[in-house]
Amino acid sequence: MELHGVAIENPQSFNLIFGHSHFIKTVEDLHEALVGTVPGIQFGLAFCEASGPRLVRTSGTDPALVDLASRNAAAVGCGHTFFIFLGNAYPVNVLGAVRQVPEVCQIYCATANPVEVIVAATDTGRAVLGVVDGQPPLGIEGPDDAQARHGLLRRIGYKL
């Protein structure tokens, strides 16, 4: 077995969702879930087929985001994994709908941070062992930090 760290290409720090599914129908079902959740959503979706022609299947509403998702899916190269890159939405807006797609088995991360996927390669194929999402903490939250967090969530409308 060989281990690889695959850095995810995301030069504009788009929000992304990286997950695992189980069926080619995932592409159409994820597309429908996304457009049904956020009107006018801009996204690119790519899914790694695990059998048959083993293609990277794609969909989306923004060709540049579809291309970005496709390149990353091909680089990771693990069967039944998918990438969604979001242009004008955040993961919090769509994660519920993505999780409700019957084929979705796992969400590895939903972030705009730098991401590295840890991949194991065997004679049979490739598997996701996990993800590195961002950088490690620099300390423990103090009272001023907590107050700033509370204020931010209220300013952006996520809490009252």
Phi, psi of 106 (to 5 degrees): -155, 140
pLDDT at 117: 98
With a cut of 90, say whether residue 91 has pLDDT above it. Answer: yes
List the chain domain ranges.
2-155
With a cut of 90, say whether residue 156 has pLDDT above it. Answer: no
With a cut of 90, say whether residue 140 has pLDDT above it. Answer: yes
pLDDT at 16: 98
With a cut of 90, say whether residue 157 has pLDDT above it. Answer: no
**Percentage of residues in the chain with pLDDT exceeding 70?**
100
Q: What is the pTM of this model?
A: 0.94
Q: What confidence tier does 127 reach under pLDDT thresholds 50, 70, 90?
A: very high
Give the H or E element holding residue 44: strand 43-48
Nearest to 57 by CA among 44, 70, 39, 76: 70
8 to each of 26, 64, 70, how far by Cα in Å?
Answer: 21, 15, 11
Instruction: Give the pLDDT confidence of 2-60 residue by residue, as tens digits.
Output: 999 999 999 999 999 999 999 989 999 999 999 999 999 999 999 999 999 999 999 99
Determine contact, residues 150/143, Cβ cutoff 8 Å: no
pLDDT at 69: 98
Phi, psi of 140 (to 5 degrees): -105, 140
With a cut of 90, say whether residue 114 has pLDDT above it. Answer: yes
> Which residues have CB under 8 Å from 116's CB, separation 6+?
5, 6, 7, 8, 131, 132
Q: Which residue has the tokens 């961002």?
A: 134
Query: What residues are paired with 44 via a beta bridge?
Result: 60, 85
pLDDT at 158: 85
Q: What confidence tier does 131 reach under pLDDT thresholds 50, 70, 90?
A: very high
CATH fold, domain 2-155, is hypothetical protein tt1634 (3.40.1520)
